[in-house]
Chain A
């Protein structure tokens, strides 16, 4: 079973819901932070590091001795990673998306494989046995999707190896990064807040993810704030609101100290245990990793 915790709007409580669900999950679980530009799930789950490795993208390296300036590579590249300027072939590895096309079209074998470090892939284990996996984008790196793809490869390997359920803390928004995080999951949980901003971005997320045909459900954070717009939208679209987290100062303080909300008090633990059960039921009879 793979669950993605997503939202249109940032700062609605994805990480808070993800870490709480992981902490009450009945089956052995892997908690994955796919928000590689600013991963923060580890701040709450506090895993002991297990592995930490570099993730790289294959980029072109020019062998000028072989290059005859035919320009086939520059013509093929859609990202201006290679440019033929007069009698010089220029390579900009930062621009490369790693398609490998230049290496294939070069008739001289003048383009060798090099590597650009995208970031790190880190795994860990918490004291209570939650396995953790995250990507961490290198500072200065502009492209997060290739790193997210690498983390997803690790995700599949780790989940298959130990028959783990998976909870993904997805990046905010509805761009490539978020779409990558919610594909191949069994359930998408949208965390929102009952404000016009929350509603606007919830609608965007619902529209973007709807095309995937996955079961979607909603958790409303900061309930009691704002207006009824989110509730009406969910009713209208047939989105079930599985849980509401009240807008309370003590909850914010607990979170700001790095606390897991499900460990705030017994009421919260029960709420999240109930939420976990409902999600597992939505994911299907077995509720286990497919």
Chain B
């Protein structure tokens, strides 16, 4: 992977800070911590708009990710429809995140500890 082309990444999270636990869900994630890798500044994208949907949460979450202007998403697993939607945005996805904090996930990502997926979880 070419890390230099990646400036902002999003991590599915149970809360807004680096100390919060990662959320393995994508569509129904609590929210997304967005990190600027250079400055390490964080911002939080609430995922309420997906959680209130009876269906299509993954697609809505993909729209939220697209609007956040990130190049990479770290999460537990992405379903087939959300995957199709994310593919359209060009956001690269790493799945299979284990229980850890958002800060730990970022450190692991920077150390090359995540592989990008080439398929959704079916």
Contacts and interface: CB of A to CB of B under 8 A. Distances in A.
Contacts of B89: 85-86
A85 B56 contact: no
Nearest to A92: B81
Given A83-B62, A95-B81, A88 B55 contact: no
**Chain B at the A interface: mostly helix, strand, loop or mixed?**
helix
B60 interface: yes
Contacts of A92: 56, 59, 81, 84
A90 B84 contact: yes
**Chain A at the B interface: mostly helix, strand, loop or mixed?**
mixed
Contact of B63 (A79, A83, A95): A83
A81 B63 CA distance: 13
B88 A85 contact: yes
Contacts of B59: 80, 83, 90, 92, 95
Interface in B46-86: 53-56, 59-60, 62-63, 66, 81, 84-85
Given A79-B55, A80-B56, A85 B81 contact: no
Contacts of B53: 80
Interface in A203-252: none
Given A90-B88, A92-B81, A85 B62 contact: yes
A81 B84 CA distance: 13
Contacts of B60: 80
Contacts of B55: 79-80, 95
A86 B88 contact: yes
B66 A86 contact: yes
Interface in A75-109: 79-81, 83-86, 88, 90, 92, 94-95
A96 to B, nearest CB: 10
Interface residues of B, number: 15
Contacts, number: 38
A81 B59 CA distance: 9
B88 A81 contact: no
A102 to B, nearest CB: 14
A74 B42 CA distance: 30
A95 B60 CA distance: 12
A85 B82 CA distance: 11
A204 B85 CA distance: 40
A88 B85 CA distance: 9
Contacts of B81: 92, 94-95
A48 to B, nearest CB: 39
Contacts of A88: 88
Interface-central residue, A88, A90, A95, by most chain B CB under 10 Å: A90
A90 B85 contact: yes
Interface in B68-117: 81, 84-85, 88-90
Nearest to B62: A85
Contacts of A84: 63
Contacts of A95: 55-56, 59, 81
Given A90-B84, A92-B81, 18 more contacts: A80-B56, A80-B59, A83-B59, A83-B62, A83-B85, A84-B63, A85-B62, A85-B66, A85-B88, A86-B66, A86-B89, A88-B88, A90-B59, A90-B85, A92-B56, A92-B59, A95-B59, A95-B81
Interface of A: 79-81, 83-86, 88, 90, 92, 94-95
27 contacts: A79-B54, A79-B56, A80-B55, A80-B60, A81-B56, A83-B62, A83-B63, A84-B63, A85-B62, A85-B85, A85-B88, A85-B89, A86-B88, A86-B89, A86-B90, A88-B88, A90-B59, A90-B84, A90-B85, A90-B88, A92-B56, A92-B59, A92-B81, A94-B81, A95-B56, A95-B59, A95-B81
The list of the 9 closest CB pairs from A to B, nearest first, reads A80-B56, A85-B88, A80-B59, A88-B88, A83-B59, A85-B89, A85-B85, A92-B81, A95-B56
